[in-house]
């Protein structure tokens, strides 16, 4: 095993009675990496973290930390620290005592404890809070205390389970940045669990998307976003979600056409027929992200603006095209009105074509024109 690998899971399965919480998953996390497990509630994220921490025994498979098989090793010997969603900062202890907790348990000399606590407090910007009682802290400080308490024991691996779900949106954004800064500064290897796709995309070096106990796709945030492997990943990641239109693909005079029960859509003016030959006639779901379509006079799809939404510095037009409704981003100041007829053009390189039956991606962006 490469020395770059800090943790490795090999075909790990965990059952609770009839529930397969984690179903044959394998992955490696590299030194200094921020790796996220992303997925909806109940998909097995926490169970995976607990298995790595040693709080749960897998039924099958092996766990390695720095090349050592730790599958049977007790949690306290693993040098792994897990920060739970509820930070569990001791309310009656001072911040100093909270951070020092693990070091006192280890019976380190007082002077050494003092040095480590102050160093960690400095990094996490907690120096001025050292005498505060845990119970008096805001959520941001509590989170930092929980992380500082982990960092002082110098874990090989820091595991964070949805650490930001309890804080409100504004604070969460700042804490996200702080967390990344700390991770980069200390070169900590970190596994971050979240169900928030945006958070995973913003923070991570790599993301593993989980569904029903399995990893469905693993890659950089760009790969996950630009090249989702199936409909689940395509629609779970990205906000607003990818536009989807169901139908059957056909080729008419070199144009790629999507035929739905009541309408035909020309998706592209020209297409290299050999590329999609095998897809013709199959039931598909065509997807494109709201930023990959443009409203323009030479667009091939015509529709009516039903609703205009302002999201931060852009507008989203909800456009009704025949039976379907799609969302397209336009500039904030673009002068559209509800009820207006518009034409849109989808960037053919950004068309995702999925098999309807399985959700599997069949093709992306090899359509020209």
Ligand X SMILES: Nc1ncnc2c1ncn2[C@@H]1O[C@H](COP(=O)(O)OP(=O)(O)OP(=O)(O)O)[C@@H](O)[C@H]1O
Site for ligand X, rule CB under 6 A: 16, 19, 21, 39, 41-47, 195
Question: Which does residue 318 touch among Mg ion, ligand X, none (CB within 5 to 8 A, set by kind)?
Answer: none
The CB-of-26 to ligand X minimum distance in angstroms stands at 17
Tell me how far, at minimum, the Cβ of 199 lies from ligand X, in Å. 13
CA 351 from centre of chain: 22
136: DSSP letter: G
Q: At what angle do helices 110-123 and 169-186 cross, to 10 degrees?
A: 120
Q: At its nearest, how many Å lie between ligand X and the CB of residue 46?
A: 3
CB atoms within 10 A of CB 187: 10
State the binding partner of 41 from ligand X, Mg ion, none, CB within 5 to 8 A by kind. ligand X
Do residues 281 and 249 lie in contact, with contact meaning Cβ atoms separated by under 8 Å? yes
**List of residues 6+ apart from 345 with CB closer than 8 A:** 293, 294, 296, 298, 299, 300, 301
Site string for Mg ion, 271-300 (x = CB under 5 A): ------------------------------
- The residue behind tokens 């290299």 is 272
Q: How far is the CB of 21 from ligand X (least distance, A)?
A: 3
Residue in 146, 5, 4 with CA at minimum distance from that of residue 81: 146
Which residue's CB is nearer to ligand X, number 37 or number 120? 37
61 binds, among ligand X, Mg ion, none (CB under 5 to 8 A by kind): none
Residue 47's binding partner among ligand X, Mg ion, none (Cβ under 5 to 8 angstroms by kind) is: ligand X
Query: Binding segment for Mg ion among 45-53, 91-99, 179-187, 290-298 (CB under 5 A)?
Result: 45-53
Structure-token pair, residue 83:
């920060």
Closest separation in Å from C-beta 54 to ligand X: 15
- Binder of residue 243, out of Mg ion, ligand X, none (CB less than 5 to 8 A by kind): none
> Among residues 46 and 204, whose Cβ is nearest to Mg ion?
46
Q: How far is the C-alpha of 359 from the C-alpha of 246, rounded, in Å?
A: 11
46 binds Mg ion per the rule CB under 5 A: yes
Sheet containing strand 157-161, strands side by side: 80-83, 157-161, 190-194, 34-38, 206-211, 214-219
CA–CA gap between residue 347 and residue 328 (Å, rounded): 12
Contacted by 19, from ligand X, Mg ion, none: CB < 5 to 8 Å by type: ligand X
Q: Which is nearer to ligand X, 176 or 327 (CB)?
A: 176
What's the CA gap between 361 and 91, in Å, rounded? 50
d(CA 255, CA 61): 50
Angle between helices 139-151 and 110-123 (to 10 degrees): 130
Q: How many CA atoms within 13 Å lie on the side-chain side of 252?
A: 11
- Count interface residues toward Mg ion (CB under 5 A): 1
Comparing CB distances to ligand X, the nearer of 204 and 243 is 204
Residue 21 interacts with, from ligand X, Mg ion, none (CB under 5-8 Å by kind): ligand X
Residue given tokens 């309310």 in the structure block: 91
Give the nearer residue to ligand X in terms of CB position, either 17 or 339. 17
User: Which segment (8-16, 42-50, 251-259, 335-343) binds Mg ion by CB under 5 A?
Assistant: 42-50
| Residue of 155, 221, 237, 208 whose CA lies nearest to 45 | 208
Our CB check for ligand X shows the closer of 44 and 102 to be 44
- Per partner kind, with CB cut-offs from 5 to 8 A, the member of Mg ion, ligand X, none near residue 164 is none
Q: Identify which of residues 22 and 305 has a Cβ nearer to ligand X in the complex.
A: 22
In the complex, what is the shortest distance from the CB of residue 192 to ligand X, in angstroms, rounded to a whole number? 13
43 vs 207, beta carbon nearer ligand X: 43
End-to-end CA distance of the chain: 46
Q: CA–CA separation, 56 vs 35, rounded Å? A: 20
Residues 328, 331, 332, 337, CA torsion sign: negative
Residue with smaller CB distance to ligand X, 165 or 254: 165
CB of 19 to Mg ion, least distance (A): 14
Positions in the binding site for Mg ion (CB under 5 A) = 46
């Amino acid at each position: 095993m490469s020395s770059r690998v800090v943790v490795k899971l090999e075909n790990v399965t965990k059952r609770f009675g009839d529930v397969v919480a984690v179903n044959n998953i394998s992955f490696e996390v590299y030194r200094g990496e921020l790796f996220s497990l992303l997925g909806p509630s109940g998909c097995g994220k926490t169970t995976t973290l607990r298995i790595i921490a040693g709080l749960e025994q897998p039924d099958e498979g092996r766990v390695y930390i720095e090349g050592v098989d730790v599958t049977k090793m007790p949690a306290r010997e693993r040098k792994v620290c897990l920060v739970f969603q509820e930070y569990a900062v001791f309310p009656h202890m001072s911040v100093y005592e909270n951070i020092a907790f693990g070091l006192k348990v280890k019976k380190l000399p007082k002077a050494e404890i003092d040095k480590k606590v102050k160093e960690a407090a400095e990094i996490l910007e907690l120096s001025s809070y050292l005498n505060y009682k845990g119970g008096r802290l805001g959520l941001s400080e509590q989170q930092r205390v929980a992380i500082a308490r982990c960092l002082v024991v110098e874990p090989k691996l820091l595991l964070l389970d949805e650490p930001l779900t309890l804080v409100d949106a504004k604070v969460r954004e700042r804490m996200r940045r702080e967390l990344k800064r700390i991770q980069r500064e200390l070169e900590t290897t970190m596994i971050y669990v979240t169900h928030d796709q945006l958070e995973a995309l913003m923070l991570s070096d790599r993301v593993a998307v989980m569904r029903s106990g399995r990893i469905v796709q693993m890659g950089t945030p760009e790969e996950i976003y630009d090249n989702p492997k199936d409909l689940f990943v395509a629609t779970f990641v990205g906000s607003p979600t990818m536009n989807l239109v169901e139908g059957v693909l056909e080729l008419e005079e070199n144009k790629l056409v999507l035929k739905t029960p009541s309408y035909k859509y020309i998706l592209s003016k020209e297409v290299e027929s050999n590329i999609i030959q095998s897809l013709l006639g199959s039931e598909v779901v065509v997807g494109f992200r709201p930023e990959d379509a443009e409203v323009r006079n030479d667009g091939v799809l015509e529709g009516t603006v039903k609703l205009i939404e302002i999201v931060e510095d852009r507008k989203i037009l909800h456009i009704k095209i025949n039976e379907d409704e799609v969302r397209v981003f336009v500039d904030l100041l673009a002068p559209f009105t509800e009820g207006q007829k518009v034409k849109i053009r989808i960037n053919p390189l950004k068309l995702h074509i999925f098999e309807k039956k399985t959700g599997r991606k069949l093709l992306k962006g090899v359509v020209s024109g």
